[in-house]
Structure 1
């Protein structure tokens, strides 16, 4: 019988408690719960802390909140702090602006393979549908809702996905979404987690995956499962991307498997 690993669900958030609440509600509806949920908070204000405290009472699994002061966009750093604190063998990573399909955690855990990581996709929701969800706190979304974009990503057929996986191996950096990924914790520790040299929006996940590839960790084919619905928001400032691309290029050219400033400093 296949071992079912203990699992930490890592949620990154910053100053959007209304969206985070939708994420937490969708976790409560999971058919398979994680062992624990840890919120990686990159400097949110008191309103987010109060929301989390309200949900900690009666939440079906331990709900922890790790916060750092707001010193600009330092997503890699707060994720490293959560990775260090996590008790799960397996870490599923999402953002706090997602609504999870009820089988989301189950899909990730069942698709986990030794020496592999998972990079999933997302379903984009329109601004109008997102606002409707905030008002109604509706329980479910499907590909038939008006305002659900890229509907193929909303198809849920894990048995079909497992069949396709027999013939198709996922490679490269195509369609990497840091909002929907999962890893064995030991593999993250082996490459020292996220590179904190990357600050500002963009490329922290790409650079991490390059080091995982260089370490021999492969990617699982993960379509038709692990569905997340992304609540609409305006795009982030992307002026940091060019600077962060230089760090990515260094990892590629030098075949790096380790970053100097990573998760080890919090262990």
Structure 2
């Protein structure tokens, strides 16, 4: 283990190698290097492995590729494998379509507290702007600049405040936002021991609220979620969601309702099976 290892970044992905390449690049230029990366891969083909191998050759960061056979949407299962594989005491979760600003890891590490989890946000890019993102744009940090985004066709909205670089403004907006601090898999961090204590993700769950549910169990177990949506910044590349289906959403809703009603702190369908 790296002696200065402070965090494991867990990036979930499925067959989006071009985007993963950009996401990995964004972590290679972070202001701190005290972390390892685990790519939690829910059954991608060889193109994704090629991207990870090429990145691993040229980065100083430790990169681990955790993969499972493609058998439909099984993100919860691969995330549990990634948690078990991680070497750090602190975990930062994000997705393979979210490009992290260069202070992303440093911000999560700076704000972490015992018995707390950090709930970040993301700024959604339009389809046209998403297509203009490349390593040069990320290197220059243009995709976090309001003026550049507007010039490229991104509509100017209040949500652009999510890209602020002012700590005072970020703290104020975090304080007044009506959005609850939850476990949102695109940008969230917690202590490894706190997610292990609730047995990780519920592997029965498909797409839709599967990350919120583990957060709800953590809350029932005494973990407080802190709002940092204006502090830890990432931009989200545009895409469709072909894996979204009503049957899965209904099942997930039922599981979440039970978790809330029973104030569950543990799942029998997590890392350790009952």
**1:153 deviation in Å?**
1.4
Deviates more, 1:234-243 or 1:113-122: 234-243
Preserved CA contact (<8 Å) 1:9 1:34: no
C-alpha distance in 2 between matches for 1:106 and 1:75: 26
Query: Which residue number in structure 1 is paired with residue 224 of structure 2?
Result: 218
Distance 1:198 1:30 in 2: 33
Whole-Å separation in 1 of the counterparts to 2:129 and 2:22 = 13
Task: Find the counterpart in structure 1 of residue 197 from structure 2.
Answer: 190
C-alpha distance in 2, partners of 1:169/1:258? 32
1:70-149 equivalences under 5 Å are: 70-134=70-134, 138-139=138-139, 140=141, 141=143, 142-144=145-147, 145-146=149-150, 147-148=153-154
Distance 1:175 1:143 in 2: 26
Tell me how far apart the structure 2 counterparts of residues 38 and 225 of structure 1 sit (CA, whole Å). Answer: 23
Is the deviation greater in 143-152 or in 190-199? Answer: 143-152
Select which of 244, 250, 259 maps to 2:258: 250
- List per-residue Cα deviations over 1:180-231 (Å, max 9, x = no partner): 11010000110001011112x1111111111011001001121321100001
- Written as runs of structure 1 = structure 2, the 5 A alignment for 1:173-188 is 173=180, 177-188=184-195
Tell me, yes or no, if structure 1 residue 157 matches structure 2 residue 166: yes
Flag the 1:135–1:92 CA change in 2: closer, same or farther, 3 A: closer
Note the C-alpha offset of 1:160.
4.5
Instruction: Give the unaligned 5+ runs of structure 2.
Output: none
Q: How many correspondences in the alignment?
A: 259
Q: Cα RMSD (Å) of the superposition? A: 2.3
Distance 1:19 1:163 in 2: 32
State the SS of the aligned residue for 2:8.
strand
Asked if the contact 1:124–1:148 (Cα under 8 Å) also holds between the matched residues in 2, the reply is: no
- Contact kept? 1:92, 1:180, Cα under 8 Å: yes
The 3 A distance-change label for structure 1 pair 107 and 38 is: same
After TM superposition, which residue ranges in structure 1, 4 or more long, deviate above 6 angstroms? Answer: 169-172
The CA distance in 2 between the partners of 1:212 and 1:171, in whole Å, is 21
Deviation at 1:254, TM superposition (A): 0.6
Give 2:39's aligned residue.
39
For normalisation by structure 1, the TM-score amounts to 0.89
Structure-2 separation of matches of 1:131 and 1:172: 29
